[in-house]
Amino acid sequence: MGDSHAPTIRLAIFGNCRLAREALATYFAGQPGFVIVGHTGTVDGLVQLCALTSPHVAVVEVERLGPPTLQALAELRRRHPEVEPVVIYTTVAPEAIAIAAEHDIAALVPGSAGLDAMSRVVRCRAGERDSTTPAGEGQALTDREMAIASLITAGHTTGDIAQLLRISTHTVDNHRRRIYTKLGVDNQGSAVAQGISLGIAPTRTHPTRPSRRATAPRLTPREREILVHIAKGHTIRQTARELGIAPKTVENTQTRLYRKLGTNSRGEALATAYQLGLIEPSTSSSPDAAH
């Protein structure tokens, strides 16, 4: 039997391939003693994820381990010395080992070693770090903020969140404002996009609103335009101004879009659109991407 009193290891996951990092997140989430705080496909996202969620270990999955990845990890170590990187690679550049040693990046695991070996390395490296070291003061999300951020990402309204967590809507709004500040956003649409891009998934103790559709609906070009503007956090008036159409036209199109997605709000529509692959979280070039 496992040790029920063993400390929980908080993991952030970075990878060029979305399917690969989601597979890693699923694997580690199913192992005792691990909690996934998020996953991302950009270096900037990984740095922000470490600041927001205080992981013990950052699992980095790359096709080819080379200087760009190691330089990025060296910067991560400089900004978040409390986070231990574990790198999983398929191939390695000849000069990479020396660079890794220079920056004290010792946990390098070939993908061919398998998941069990990877898990052992992560546990070992986590045990060598001080798990009480906090992230930058005032920057990390609290446990309550993480719960609310995950529900915002899933498209829940303030009323939904208040009911699920058994707190007042006023308390939810106060937490929401602090979450927006820490995420660097100013509206729910941007918060949903940011939360999804960082892999801040809904916690198991607070179920998400179930999707009403199993497959993506066919959207008109105008509906896709409106969806993109929702993802950017634009208001109806901003959308109307940029598209050169009347606000009423935006409202009517948005209503049809909600109906096709089986949703009732901007946040829920955006979350469902991401889940159905109609839009993707914003990404930037990642180091050592496979060609």
Q: Where are the domains of the chain?
A: 9-127, 143-197
> CATH number of the domain at 9-127, out of 3.40.50.2300, 3.30.1370.100, 3.30.565.10, 3.90.550.10?
3.40.50.2300
**Residue entry with tokens 């979350």:** 271
The answer to whether residues 65 and 288 touch, using CB atoms and an 8 Å cutoff, is yes
Helix boundaries (H) for the chain:
18-29, 43-53, 67-79, 96-102, 115-127, 143-153, 158-165, 169-183, 188-197, 221-231, 236-243, 247-261, 266-275
Kindly state the tokens that stand for 135. 């992230």
pLDDT of residue 12 exceeding 90, the answer is: yes
pLDDT tens-place string over residues 228-273:
888 777 888 999 999 999 999 999 999 999 999 888 877 778 878 8
3-state secondary structure of 15: strand
The answer to whether residues 45 and 2 touch, using CB atoms and an 8 Å cutoff, is no
Mean local confidence (pLDDT), 163-181: 86
CA 179, CA 142: separation in Å to the nearest integer? 9
pLDDT of residue 194 exceeding 90, the answer is: no
Q: What is the CATH number of domain 143-197?
A: 1.10.10.10
Q: What is the pLDDT of residue 113?
A: 78
Q: What is the pLDDT of residue 222?
A: 93
Mean local confidence (pLDDT), 210-222: 72
Q: What is the pLDDT of residue 2?
A: 46
Rounded to two decimals, the pTM is 0.58
C-alpha gyration radius of the chain: 20
Mean local confidence (pLDDT), 189-218: 61
pLDDT of residue 282 exceeding 90, the answer is: no
Residue 7 or residue 48, greater confidence: 48
pLDDT of residue 136 exceeding 50, the answer is: no
